[in-house]
Chains A and B, each alone.
Chain A
Amino acid sequence: MLSADGPFAPKGDLIETRLADEMILLDPTTAQMFSLAGTGLLLWEALQSGTIADAAVQLTVQYDVPLDVATNDVHAFADRLLDAGLLHR
């Protein structure tokens, strides 16, 4: 597991286009686009305002999931965003 505790910051030049229930991320360097919705969108926002533990708690509030499972899921998701270069510490 690679991720630190957070909060994290989005890649500096990342462009976020917000739809009603979805976030579209455009990386102008690579011209790649990513879409976040539902849990992914919740965690994208939570990871920028708090720690992984905070995000895991939010996940348990929104969804019926034990805290340890939520914590593992948030770590895994944060690692994917870090690997993709969308977030940094």
Chain B
Amino acid sequence: MPGCSTASTALDFSILGRPFHATGAPRALGEWLRAHWDFPEHVIAPQGYTITLRVNDARPSTVGRATGTPVAVTVHGATLPWFSSGTAWWLDTPDGGLYLTLDPSSSHIDAWGAWDGDGTAALFLALYVALSESLRASGLLPLHTAAAARDGAVTLFMGPSGTGKSTTVLRAALQGWTPLAEDMVWLDPETLWVTGWDRGVRLRPDTRDRFAGPLATLPWRSDADGKLVLDYHTFAAAPPRSSTLSRIIVLARDDRHAPGWEPMPPREMVRALWEATGVPLHTNARAWIARVIPDLISRVECRRLWIGNAPLPL
């Protein structure tokens, strides 16, 4: 029976201060949850918002069937069709499905299906979406961005893939900054507390090879996808993973352009922030982010940084 082929377990840990409890998770799912969502090193005040995951052997009879037009969510190149009714969202894949309910103080995820087969990638992506929606509902904003801190103040380095976020963080680290993230952070818009959501800088080997000198001798390790990873504890024994946001930088790459700073018009900043956070499933979350973005722009310094071939003016 799907989901019963391996021992299941209960999991209890905190995701960004939000208590998380999972039951019935088969081994493969438990390992995935630990690897991608359990960061004991995060220092965040405990929050009351709880997230629960219940893994079932079969689709619960209470879960509705697909009706109407689905909301398509694209994650890591895969498009997932979600259906909704009120504050509940669900999705079916050939290997299983998810049912997500978002309440003001908690979220509940029911999952069913196989979690250890070859075709379960869509299920894991769906769970990634459901957990992200839960964190959004708890008042956190995900941002696809690199981040580094200096003197306790965080600077975000945003931009489309390929703009140079990871290499900018590395260059900043070489100039004494503390790298926090190369791909994603979670931001509490009220407190401006930023938490990095990865464990090291990842680069393609050819990109790493462009860094001559000190970086080449650091202990890079190979990841499953062929990229090279430099763990943050390379830079410090207990590297800080969170701090307070002070600046948002949008990176622009043009080898003909001299490196330098320029003002960022608010309308372009709105676009950059929406692109960095993505459009959530829930209309309540969309409305919340639409309120948060102008407030954020008014509270932190926002600028554009042109990246050329010359050293960055960090």
List A1-60 residues whose CB lies under 8 Å from chain B: 13, 15-20, 22, 24, 26, 28, 33, 35
CB–CB B279/A28 < 8 A = yes
Query: Closest residue to A29 on the B side, CB-wise?
Result: B72
CB–CB A22/B266 < 8 A = yes
User: Looking at the complex, which one of A15, A20, A22 makes contact with B290 (CB distance below 8 Å)?
Assistant: A15
Chain B residues near A24: list those with CB within 8 A: 267, 270-271
Bound complex: CA A64 to CA B244 (Å): 49
CB–CB B267/A22 < 8 A = yes
Q: Mark B258-289, 1 if CB is under 8 A from A, else 0.
A: 00000000110011001000010001001101
Bound complex: CA A15 to CA B267 (Å): 14
CB–CB B294/A26 < 8 A = no
CB–CB B294/A19 < 8 A = yes
Given A17-B293, A18-B294, A28-B279; A33-B271 close (CB under 8 Å) = yes
Of listed A16, A19, A35, residue having the most chain B CB within 10 A: A19
CB–CB A15/B286 < 8 A = yes
Bound complex: CA A33 to CA B269 (Å): 12
CB–CB A18/B290 < 8 A = yes
Query: Chain A: interface secondary structure?
Result: strand
Bound complex: CA A17 to CA B283 (Å): 13
Query: Closest residue to A21 on the B side, CB-wise?
Result: B266
Bound complex: CA A60 to CA B287 (Å): 32
Bound complex: CA A77 to CA B271 (Å): 23
Given A26-B274, A33-B274; A19-B267 close (CB under 8 Å) = yes
Query: Closest residue to B266 on the A side, CB-wise?
Result: A19
List B114-171 residues whose CB lies under 8 Å from chain A: none
CB–CB B279/A17 < 8 A = no
Bound complex: CA A26 to CA B271 (Å): 9
Chain B residues near A19: list those with CB within 8 A: 266-267, 270, 294, 297
Given A26-B279, A28-B279; A16-B290 close (CB under 8 Å) = yes
Chain B residues near A26: list those with CB within 8 A: 274, 279
Query: Closest residue to A26 on the B side, CB-wise?
Result: B274
List B290-307 residues whose CB lies under 8 Å from chain A: 290, 293-294, 297
Chain A residues near B289: list those with CB within 8 A: 15
Chain B residues near A33: list those with CB within 8 A: 270-271, 274
Of listed A17, A19, A24, A28, residue having the most chain B CB within 10 A: A17
Q: Mark B9-26, 1 if CB is under 8 A from A, else 0.
A: 000000000000000000
Bound complex: CA A62 to CA B62 (Å): 56
Query: Closest residue to B270 on the A side, CB-wise?
Result: A24
Shortest Cβ-Cβ A-B pairs, 7 listed = A28-B279, A24-B270, A17-B290, A17-B270, A35-B267, A19-B266, A15-B286
6 more contacts with CB within 8 A, not counting A16-B290, A20-B266, are A13-B283, A15-B274, A18-B290, A19-B270, A28-B279, A33-B274
Can you name 12 A-B residue pairings with CB atoms under 8 Å? A15-B289, A17-B290, A17-B293, A19-B266, A19-B270, A19-B294, A19-B297, A20-B294, A24-B270, A26-B274, A26-B279, A33-B271
